[in-house]
């Protein structure tokens, strides 16, 4: 049985690309399954990244964009344009493609031409906590507080962050998750308390419950941060 056929392929991204690139032989190489595994790994983090950094929130639009990003990554891997530069280089490369695609979407929305310099942004440095919420430095929401002169983004940080959030999500109870799914779908508290499974709550106690869950998530986030 090849390693890639096992339920959880723990090989690094770069090892998977290598496995695909090497000529097929009795001991391995030429594994198309390797890229399959690689791309599946990034479906969820990429969607989260786009949700966080782009203005569009529509699922079909997000699907189109993720497909586009994966196609670009695939073509570059196959054509040899992507060269591994050690651990994490593919992840960095993929998020760079994603941030460029975000930028293109931003610009298409504004109807402006794409300046050459912006097509190859260098976005390797850290994020100040008041940085704009768009990958491109454009304001996605009104929640952004202070203007920042240099749009910058630590793409690695984003990938780690998503994993952290999922860790936090896994610690919640079934009831808490069901409640969060409802509020996430923008169902008003007033309506939620009419559902049989939440009938024990009054409006205030439900509000408090959601607040408590947020505090819990915040604490778990903090614990994961401390462990690191």
Residues in the site for another protein, rule: CB under 8 A? 32, 35-36, 39-40, 43-44, 47-48, 51-52, 59-60, 63, 67, 70-71, 74-75, 78-79, 129-130, 133, 142-143, 145-146, 161-162, 165-166, 168-169, 177, 180-189, 195, 207-208, 210-211, 214-215, 217-218, 221
C-beta closer to another protein: residue 29 or 118: 29
Q: For residue 170, with 0-12 CB atoms within 10 Å meaning exposed, 13-18 middle and 19 or more buried, which class applies?
A: exposed
C-beta closer to another protein: residue 43 or 108: 43
Q: How far apart are CA 214 and CA 168, in angstroms?
A: 10
N- to C-terminal Cα separation, the chain: 35
C-beta closer to another protein: residue 112 or 222: 222
Q: What is the largest CA-CA distance in the chain?
A: 66
C-beta closer to another protein: residue 107 or 165: 165
Distances, alpha carbon 210 to alpha carbons 20, 161, 177, 196, in Å: 46, 22, 10, 17
**Shortest distance, position 5 Cβ to another protein, whole Å:** 15
């Amino acid at each position: 049985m090849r390693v890639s056929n096992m339920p959880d392929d723990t090989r690094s991204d770069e090892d998977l690309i290598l496995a695909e690139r090497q000529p097929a032989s009795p001991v391995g190489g030429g594994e198309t399954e390797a890229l399959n595994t690689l791309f599946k790994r990034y479906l969820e983090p990429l969607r989260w990244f786009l949700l966080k950094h782009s203005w569009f929130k529509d699922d079909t639009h997000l699907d189109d964009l993720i497909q586009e990003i994966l196609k670009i990554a695939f073509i570059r891997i196959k054509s040899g344009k992507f060269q591994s530069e050690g651990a994490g280089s593919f992840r960095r490369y993929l998020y760079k493609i994603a941030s460029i695609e975000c930028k293109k979407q931003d610009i298409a929305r504004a109807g402006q031409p794409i300046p050459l310099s912006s097509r190859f942004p260098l976005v390797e440095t850290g994020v100040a906590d008041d940085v704009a919420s768009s990958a491109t430095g454009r304001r996605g929401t009104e929640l952004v507080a202070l203007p920042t002169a240099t749009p910058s983004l630590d793409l690695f940080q984003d990938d780690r962050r998503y994993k952290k959030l999922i860790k936090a999500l896994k610690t919640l109870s079934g009831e808490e998750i069901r409640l969060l799914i409802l509020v996430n779908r923008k169902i008003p508290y007033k309506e939620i308390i009419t559902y049989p499974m939440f009938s024990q709550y009054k409006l205030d106690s439900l509000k408090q419950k959601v607040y408590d869950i947020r505090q819990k998530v915040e604490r778990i986030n903090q614990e994961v941060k401390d462990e690191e």
